[in-house]
A and B are shown apart, each in its own frame.
Chain A
Amino acid sequence: MSEREPVTMMDATTRLEYVFTAGVAMSKNLHGYEQGKFIGQRCPKCKKVYVPSRGSCPTDGVATDEIVELPNTGTMTTYCVVNVPFAGQSIEIPYICGQILLDGANLSFMGLIQEIPIDEIRMGMRVEAVWEEPEKWGPTLASVKYFRPNGEPDADYDTYKEYL
């Protein structure tokens, strides 16, 4: 038997494909984007409004059946400036990711912030959604191009301090 080098490395490529189920509640939220709407749900027990709608209240563990439509305006509770390039990046750096607390919601979600210089961004900034052209609306948050400052005075810290 010929002398062979021991095997020291092995390439074990793995690929698994999945069909993801958004769920009943999340589907309502996604269909809302098709119509230019932010859809959330209210918990019957604590009355909090969650957006995106998620079907159950994480605090109380009860079904959140009541649909709530949220407005296009909200407060950016906090943000970060992305400077680091990464694989799959579609937006030119630097750019701002902000946590958007829509008016009436009790849960913030991440959104792209544009139309403001990086050095002027600050917590509590009042923002509004800028939607794509209606022809481009689909069941995805990508129907919203980004959020931009809407010119209102910054929100009082007390109004969003619990959402940090």
Chain B
Amino acid sequence: MSPKGSFPELTSGRRPVGVVSFAQYDNVRREDARNEVEMLLPVVTEVFGNIGITKDDVGFICSGSTDYLIGGPFSFVAALDAVGVWPPRAESHVEMDGAWALYEAWVLLQEGEIDAALVYAFGRSSMGDLSQVLAVQLDPYYLAPLWPDPTALAALQAQAMIDTGGGCGGACAAGARRSRKAALSNPKAQVAYDRSAEALLKEDYAVAPLRRHALPPLTDGCAAVVLAAGDKAYEWCERPAFITGIDHRIETHSVGARDLTVSPSTRVAGEKAGVGAKKVDIAELHAPFAHQELILSAALGLGDGVSLNPSGGALAANPMMSAGLIRIGEAAQRIWSGDADRAVAHATSGPCLQQNLVAVLEGV
């Protein structure tokens, strides 16, 4: 028991680690003037400033980004200019969404040598052709030579849902309507509107069976989170969003070898993270395509009582490499405010929900 507050029971790990601060860039279609460092600088300043700390108060820095978005090797090294790395401290990077950088920081915090970490992520979709960039991550023999873009692959997934009798059209439109309407209350949202599901269903197909409303926007953005362990969490935050469970699983690289209508990796990660152990108030699901929210909430066993993507989710803003970390930050915010006591945050990577991370956050 900390002098300031108690810690929740943990499903994962031994040491309570809380999300204590979060900041994100104004998500935009194209950030032409500022480069990644200049975008990150105000975000990192804000994430520290929120809780009155500096870079000297964290023992580990971990980031998520990909060189393929920028078109240059070791591009993440320059991003450290936004933090300032003297005196030197432990630092790491993953060529993945920042949610996995958060996972690495969480693992290191479990060891007990450090008490706090900075996690940040950045991604600018506007610099290259995102469809081509994401195609080169696919199987180089059978899939990449076809250059399938993410929308086409997602459309295959949505079609598979229709073919197996699963809902898509109406349910997707309802989900997209809900997300984009919720985004109206999110100052960082890029796409937000209040339109009826009927209106959305009259839109043209982007790639059948997906209509425009089912697609994520192209976004330039970045985000940062501060993690603090044990008593330190209460030093910096009145009601830390403690990570009681966190796990990530990956499915086969080959899209053709998977049943795209279900997400076993999300299901297993959710079980290992203890999603079903207690009532879930909100779930921030990283579902870039509207039908994927249906797959994910089914995999996690989320019932009707759970509020899905109160931030608007990835349909509101989809900065590459950052959207997953932002789900964790958005969930944490609602625990700090008392709007939720227990939240699920999810991040995805790879084609058609290939790899998934699930975190359970609780406020005491």
Residues on A close to B: CB < 8 A?
A: 10, 12, 14, 16-27, 54-63
Pick from A21, A57, A58, A62: contact of B34, CB below 8 A. A21
Interface size on B, residues (CB 8 A): 34
B84–A59 CB distance below 8 A: yes
Residues of B within 8 A of A60 (CB): 84, 86
Cβ of B107 under 8 Å from chain A:
no
B71–A63 CB distance below 8 A: no
- Say which one of B127-135, B290-298, B315-323, B339-347 lies at the interface with A: B127-135
B127–A25 CB distance below 8 A: no
Pick from A16, A24, A56: contact of B82, CB below 8 A. A56
In the assembled complex, the CB of A45 is this many whole angstroms from the nearest CB of chain B, namely 9
B41–A58 CB distance below 8 A: no
Residues of A within 8 A of B128 (CB): 16-19
If over half of A's interface residues share one DSSP class (helix, strand or loop), that class is named, otherwise mixed; here it is: loop
Decide yes or no: A23 and B35 within 8 Å by CB, A16-B71, A63-B41 being known contacts. yes
Pick from A12, A16, A23, A24: contact of B129, CB below 8 A. A16
Residue of B nearest to A15 (CB): B132
Decide yes or no: A12 and B145 within 8 Å by CB, A21-B35, A55-B38, A56-B37 being known contacts. yes
Residues of A within 8 A of B85 (CB): 58-59, 61
Cβ of B44 under 8 Å from chain A:
yes
Q: Besides the contacts A17-B128, A21-B33, A59-B84, what 5 more A-B pairs have beta carbons closer than 8 Å? A: A16-B128, A24-B33, A55-B37, A55-B38, A58-B85
Can you name 21 A-B pairs with beta carbons within 8 Å?
A12-B140, A12-B144, A16-B71, A16-B129, A16-B132, A16-B136, A20-B70, A21-B124, A22-B35, A23-B33, A23-B35, A25-B38, A26-B35, A55-B35, A55-B38, A56-B81, A56-B84, A59-B86, A62-B41, A62-B45, A62-B84
B141–A61 CB distance below 8 A: no
B127–A20 CB distance below 8 A: yes
**CA separation between A57 and B80, bound complex, in Å?**
10
In the assembled complex, the CB of A40 is this many whole angstroms from the nearest CB of chain B, namely 14
Residues of B within 8 A of A62 (CB): 41, 45, 84
Cβ of B55 under 8 Å from chain A:
yes
Residues of A within 8 A of B86 (CB): 58-60
Instruction: List residues of B (337-360) whose CB comes within 8 Å of A's CBs.
Output: none
Decide yes or no: A18 and B33 within 8 Å by CB, A12-B140, A24-B38, A61-B41 being known contacts. no
Decide yes or no: A16 and B35 within 8 Å by CB, A59-B84, A61-B41, A61-B83 being known contacts. no
Instruction: List residues of B (1-60) whose CB comes within 8 Å of A's CBs.
Output: 31-35, 37-38, 41, 44-45, 55
Cβ of B68 under 8 Å from chain A:
yes
In the assembled complex, the CB of B115 is this many whole angstroms from the nearest CB of chain A, namely 20
